[in-house]
Amino acid sequence: MAFLSLRRALTLPLPKWERGLWALALLASPALADGLIDNANGYSFDGKGQLVRFNGLLIDDQGKVAKLLDRNDKRPEKLDYRLDAKGRTVIPGLIDAHGHVMALGAAALSLDLSATNSLAEMQDALRRYAADRPTPLWIGGGGWNQERWGLGRFPTAADIDAITPGRPVVLNRVDGHALLANSAAMAAAGISAATKDPPGGRIERDAKGKPTGVFIDAAQHLIRDSVPPMLPRDRDAALARAQDILLSYGITATADMGTSTDDWAVMRRAGDAGRLKLRIIAYAGGIPALLSIAGTGPTPWLYDGRLRMIGVKLYDDGALGSRGAWLKAPYADAPGQKGLQFLDDAKLRNLMSRAAMDGFQTAVHAIGDAANAQLLDAIDELAATYKGDRRWRIEHAQIVDPADLSRFGRNGIVASMQPVHQTSDRLMAEARLGPNRLGGAYAWKAMLDNKAPLAFGSDYPVESPNPFPALATAISRQDERGQPAGGWQPQQAITLPQAFRAFTETAAFAGFAEDRIGTLMPGRMADFLILDRDIFTATAPDIRAAKPVETWIGGKRIWVAK
Amino acid sequence: MAFLSLRRALTLPLPKWERGLWALALLASPALADGLIDNANGYSFDGKGQLVRFNGLLIDDQGKVAKLLDRNDKRPEKLDYRLDAKGRTVIPGLIDAHGHVMALGAAALSLDLSATNSLAEMQDALRRYAADRPTPLWIGGGGWNQERWGLGRFPTAADIDAITPGRPVVLNRVDGHALLANSAAMAAAGISAATKDPPGGRIERDAKGKPTGVFIDAAQHLIRDSVPPMLPRDRDAALARAQDILLSYGITATADMGTSTDDWAVMRRAGDAGRLKLRIIAYAGGIPALLSIAGTGPTPWLYDGRLRMIGVKLYDDGALGSRGAWLKAPYADAPGQKGLQFLDDAKLRNLMSRAAMDGFQTAVHAIGDAANAQLLDAIDELAATYKGDRRWRIEHAQIVDPADLSRFGRNGIVASMQPVHQTSDRLMAEARLGPNRLGGAYAWKAMLDNKAPLAFGSDYPVESPNPFPALATAISRQDERGQPAGGWQPQQAITLPQAFRAFTETAAFAGFAEDRIGTLMPGRMADFLILDRDIFTATAPDIRAAKPVETWIGGKRIWVAK
């Protein structure tokens, strides 16, 4: 089987609160069986946008929800197992509508700089990591953010050259749209002052034109192409690590945005070997990967509903941090620059058509208002040709011209957004756009008002995959320090049920999976969490701190808090 | 399920001889069930090299052989189905130890020139094919052999340019080691007199150095890289066609020698969709594909024993026809040329080590005596490091220095050879090598004398995948016209049981699959053929004409002669 057997799941170390529990009947056989989660403070959407409550969750021998029970409903007399939730909150497993599974695992195995608050802290972290790991020769990592450091400039190779003599170092910026290479890495890649900026990319240079170490958007390939590929065992380890991280945060299903043929092979190896635990809805990283892997249409659900390729991820522009987001008007803090347009109108339509003609879903990255407008135009045109239930996904939709917001409610567009980007980006967004172009920035409420299906995710590993800070952010527009007071652009805050729905029912809908996950209605998979608190009666800071106590997938307990 | 259900299998149109049969009880359910093939003239090896006979084949509800019965053994009273073979010959499904599945299917969908006996016939065939298929623009095909045509030279672009004006044409030589491009294809690929021969390849040129249209070995890429890729639906169709062809010849399992990541994706799509019928033992086309697909070790058997990646295919030299085979002494008909060495000693060992260190099997193409000697040296060295049951495969082993023949019996080497190459190549081999270097050519008997496991295949689509002409050739060393009288180098002929074993028990062993296929001993999969004649009492011409009447895989009838 694809994950911990029921027997093993039920014999995992129990959390403290559950010790001495009378009701947990262990099975002799590892096969699935009828079970009941009882005395739950249960919440689920009903598949039609209504929040429903339940006290008991009856699970059938296929790992599906058989019935939701009220407190007074009669319990079956014969059950193979029964768990007393003791009044704790039970919710559907959360679904991340936009993540990068392999990158999350690889990042977790590499140097994590996301907690560094200064260049000096980054230098210390690099020194420790290099000392701990004499091999492999190349050092990879990421998570740096010169904005967070308050550095006022990009870091440079010179900042890190002395720390790891002879060892190439490549460190990704937090948003994945820029990297920092040391001199050894640039030498290995053959970079010099004579190296030209590639189309769609930029090399940071000093006054004499010599590259300083930072490579933006398409220029990153100049370095990345020289990095030795990961070994298969490291790829397998990365997937295992990613799964463990996601399950610990209560993520039971995720979209994988940009699955490469190598990524897909890793996922299939895990599935073949019974090591695939969570559910992955894969969007191929570009048309060639889509056609190679899935070929003539979406794959069936594989491995007992744990893996499917449904469509393709495309990129229409870059990101705001590196000024790659394509804007209608120039950047407020870089006059004359409007960002990077990745695809002209014809190319965008051609790529989307190539996927749509075979019934594939498209999920297109669009961050700047010009990119969003271009994509909305393309969808207007394509929707006339490719009829039916298409669910055109716009990924991020971060900076939308207020004049374009109402267009999200048309053509079956899904707005796939990431709440935590708002708190991470707000100061930068103000700098990049100035005060007068923020009316359609991170505009969750506007999406709902316009009746666009709103699916939430984290864009992990750009942000943490922990969905609870995202839920808190969605209702407060405030960061973990409660900043800014009153919330940033608070008119775009939404309610907790709305945010919860975006992480469950609508996130499933966004991946054509609402018939099996996202709610706990009868017939859906019994993917659910037992939480340490009731998020529906909590304040934003309290929601932010919420943690799963147990994570169940398909009627099996596969993760328990230590 | 991965193939026709039993119900559908049992309701396929019955061949004439079987009409009115009383014993074929149709099942209400498509599930597998206990069955008996009775009154069979049965032959199988016993897994230890002994030929055994049987009259009844009892099949369990897992599709495995339960028991072989003598004529006098009591038959079970309760059976879900029973087939009276009426004395016909029943043998294990034949296994092709060296084929190219996707190329077979693609070739079957493209222009087949293998039956052309002259340049004029080829020109006619091209004209008809182009007229029948106005799209796609590019015309692909293969199977030409200027030796067979008696042309005395390679064909040229000028020979075909007038036939398909404006349409690029690319036609592979029968051995896959050379191609003929027309001028439109050369123009699309940017070929001119200035184009240099790449390492490991050669461009045929006229007296002025202008390419004439034939590109040999590595030079083929200069053209192939410009051919538009096959569409996914055409790839899927090619696999379906390949399966149908193989099943019709009684091939129930095959090694796929050089599986690309795209090929693997096609096979997985077929498996996922239940369209994979025969068993494929895949050898990745090179180390990058191996590491991407299988990663850290051979895959498990997938799709109910229908697909597995066990190792890697490597190339140590080219082929004899295009003088790419690497010889110890110069070609007799091209003084000064010794062929093409693809890998130096270190590179060969490094590639084989990279596979072996993770438990992958290696299958290395070696045709010339120098290539075989180099590979034997490498195996001597590697076997000291990589212990255990490794089954180092040497593919083709066509021209072996007689001094090296005894080395095949050491280190667990498997000689993977293709009988029909002997009859196709003999005149050419005599021309290429002269009369005094043929003592180790196509030396099947010497392999057995030296106790090397001998696995047979066809190298389809280079040759037809029909194994019955191969069995006839193995015992006669004569072609379909009975030439030459007395057989070519007849001291290397083997017996029919020996040849049959090489297509069953040892072909399974060569792919680490003898625990499940290759014999009809109890516990093995019920993969078998009902033949139209008893090949064990037949003459070589009679064996050559033998045909399956039915092909069964895993206890299900999946092909029936029309």
* pLDDT, average across residues B178-199: 97
What percent of chain B shows pLDDT beyond 90? Answer: 88
Verify that A376 and A463 share a domain, yes or no.
yes
DSSP code, position B181:
E
* pLDDT, average across residues B70-97: 95
Q: Is the pLDDT of residue B12 over 70?
A: no
Tell me the nearest-neighbour CA distance from B483 into chain A, angstroms: 46
On whether residue B51 sits in a domain, the answer given is yes
- Residues B379 and B353: their CA atoms lie apart, in Å, by 10
Verify that A204 and A250 share a domain, yes or no.
no
Verify that A194 and A239 share a domain, yes or no.
no
A164, amino acid identity: T
* pLDDT, average across residues B89-93: 98
On whether residue A97 sits in a domain, the answer given is no
| Global pTM exceeds 0.90 | no
On whether residue B504 sits in a domain, the answer given is no
Count of beta carbons in the 10 Å neighbourhood of residue A300: 13
DSSP code, position A177:
S
Verify that B81 and B128 share a domain, yes or no.
no
Q: Which of A233, A235, A292 sits opposite B265 (nearest CB)?
A: A292
Give the largest Cα separation in chain A, rounded.
Answer: 81
Contact A143, A462 (CB under 8 A): no
Q: Is the pLDDT of residue B14 over 70?
A: no
Could you tell me which chain A residue has the CA closest to the CA of B235?
A295
Q: Is the pLDDT of residue B347 over 70?
A: yes
Distance of alpha carbon B218 from its chain centroid, rounded? 22
Q: What is the pLDDT of residue B9?
A: 33
On whether residue B189 sits in a domain, the answer given is yes
Residue A516's contacts (CB-CB under 8 Å, 6 or more residues apart) are A301, A305, A508, A524, A525
Q: Which of A236, A261, A299 sits opposite B295 (nearest CB)?
A: A236
DSSP code, position B310:
E
Q: What is the pLDDT of residue B95?
A: 98
For testing contact with chain A, the best of B102, B234, B260, B261 (most A CBs within 10 A): B261
Q: Is the pLDDT of residue B23 over 90?
A: no
List of chain B residues whose C-beta atoms are within 8 Å of the C-beta of residue A294: 232, 269
Q: What is the CATH number of the domain that holds A10?
A: 2.30.40.10
CB contact under 8 A, B291 and A266: no
Verify that B83 and B118 share a domain, yes or no.
no
Q: What is the pLDDT of residue B5?
A: 32
List of chain B residues whose C-beta atoms are within 8 Å of the C-beta of residue A358: 232
On whether residue A99 sits in a domain, the answer given is no
Verify that A355 and A475 share a domain, yes or no.
yes
CB contact under 8 A, A232 and B262: no
- Summarize pLDDT for A325-360 with one digit per residue, the tens: 999 999 999 999 999 999 999 999 999 999 999 999
Residue B221, token pair as written in the block? 């890429």
Q: What is the pLDDT of residue B229?
A: 85
Residue A198, token pair as written in the block? 């590639």
Within an 8 Å CB–CB cutoff, is residue A292 touching chain B?
yes
Q: What is the CATH number of the domain that holds B115?
A: 3.10.310.70
Range(s) of the domain holding residue B22: 1-93+518-562
Distance of alpha carbon B503 from its chain centroid, rounded? 11
- Structural domain count of chain A: 3
* pLDDT, average across residues B29-58: 88
Verify that A468 and A531 share a domain, yes or no.
no
Among A105-109, B277-281, B288-292, the least confident range: A105-109
Tell me the nearest-neighbour CA distance from B238 into chain A, angstroms: 13
CB contact under 8 A, A262 and B292: yes
- Position A32 confidence tier, pLDDT thresholds 50, 70, 90: low
Among A162-171, A478-487, B21-30, the least confident range: B21-30
Verify that B82 and B169 share a domain, yes or no.
no
List of chain A residues whose C-beta atoms are within 8 Å of the C-beta of residue B272: 299-300, 302
Mean pLDDT over the full length of chain B: 93
Within an 8 Å CB–CB cutoff, is residue A265 touching chain B?
yes
Give the B window 364-423 contacts with A, CB below 8 Å: none
Q: Is the pLDDT of residue B3 over 60?
A: no
Q: What is the pLDDT of residue A33?
A: 62
Helix (H) or strand (E) holding A124: helix A119-132
Tell me the nearest-neighbour CA distance from B517 into chain A, angstroms: 21
Q: What is the pLDDT of residue B33?
A: 62
Among A123-132, A160-169, B25-34, B525-534, the least confident range: B25-34
CB contact under 8 A, B268 and A266: no
Q: Is the pLDDT of residue A28 over 60?
A: no
Q: Which of A232, A296, A300 sits opposite B295 (nearest CB)?
A: A232
CB contact under 8 A, A295 and B265: yes
Give the relative orientation of helices A101-109 and A261-272 as an angle to the nearest 10 degrees.
Answer: 90
For testing contact with chain A, the best of B236, B263, B268, B290 (most A CBs within 10 A): B268
For testing contact with chain B, the best of A102, A233, A268 (most B CBs within 10 A): A268
Within an 8 Å CB–CB cutoff, is residue B48 touching chain A?
no
Domain-ending residue, one of B224, B240, B274: B224
CB contact under 8 A, A291 and B266: no
On whether residue B402 sits in a domain, the answer given is no
Answer with the residue of higher pLDDT: A175 or A500: A500
Relative to beta strand A393-396, strand A361-366 is parallel
Give the B window 324-363 contacts with A, CB below 8 Å: 358
| Sheet order of strands, A35-38 included | A65-69, A56-59, A35-38, A81-84
- Summarize pLDDT for A247-280 with one digit per residue, the tens: 999 999 999 999 999 999 999 999 999 999 999 9
Verify that B77 and B157 share a domain, yes or no.
no
Q: Is the pLDDT of residue B476 over 80?
A: yes
- Residues A239 and A241: their CA atoms lie apart, in Å, by 5
What percent of chain A shows pLDDT beyond 70? Answer: 94
Q: Which of B231, B272, B294 sits opposite A299 (nearest CB)?
A: B272
Relative to beta strand B307-315, strand B279-285 is parallel
Nearest to A323 by CA among A461, A488, A464, A202: A202
Domain-ending residue, one of B224, B256, B290: B224
* pLDDT, average across residues A25-54: 80
Within an 8 Å CB–CB cutoff, is residue B269 touching chain A?
yes
Q: What is the pLDDT of residue B32?
A: 61
Relative to beta strand A414-417, strand A393-396 is parallel
- Position A321 confidence tier, pLDDT thresholds 50, 70, 90: confident
List of chain A residues whose C-beta atoms are within 8 Å of the C-beta of residue B293: 265
Verify that A307 and A366 share a domain, yes or no.
yes
Verify that B86 and B23 share a domain, yes or no.
yes
Residue A151, token pair as written in the block? 């550095």
Nearest to B151 by CA among B159, B141, B161, B162: B159
- Position A134 confidence tier, pLDDT thresholds 50, 70, 90: confident
CB contact under 8 A, B265 and A293: yes
Burial class from Cβ neighbours inside 10 Å (0-12, 13-18, 19+) for residue A132 reads: exposed
Answer with the residue of higher pLDDT: B462 or B330: B330
For testing contact with chain A, the best of B269, B276, B302, B306 (most A CBs within 10 A): B269
Within an 8 Å CB–CB cutoff, is residue B123 touching chain A?
no
Contact B193, B208 (CB under 8 A): yes
Q: What is the CATH number of the domain that holds A247?
A: 3.20.20.140
Tell me the nearest-neighbour CA distance from A293 into chain B, angstroms: 5
Within an 8 Å CB–CB cutoff, is residue B275 touching chain A?
no
Domain-ending residue, one of A482, A501, A517: A517
Q: Is the pLDDT of residue A445 over 70?
A: yes
List of chain B residues whose C-beta atoms are within 8 Å of the C-beta of residue A272: 299-300, 302
Q: Is the pLDDT of residue A43 over 80?
A: yes
Instruction: Establish, for the pair of chains A and B, how many residue pairs have beta carbons separated by less than 8 Å.
Output: 56
Q: What is the pLDDT of residue B474?
A: 98
Instruction: Tell whether the torsion through CA atoms of B447, B449, B450 and B452 is positive or negative.
Output: positive
CB contact under 8 A, A265 and B296: no
Verify that A162 and A307 share a domain, yes or no.
no
Within an 8 Å CB–CB cutoff, is residue A240 touching chain B?
no
Q: What is the pLDDT of residue A465?
A: 98
On whether residue B47 sits in a domain, the answer given is yes
Q: Is the pLDDT of residue B214 over 90?
A: yes
On whether residue B416 sits in a domain, the answer given is no
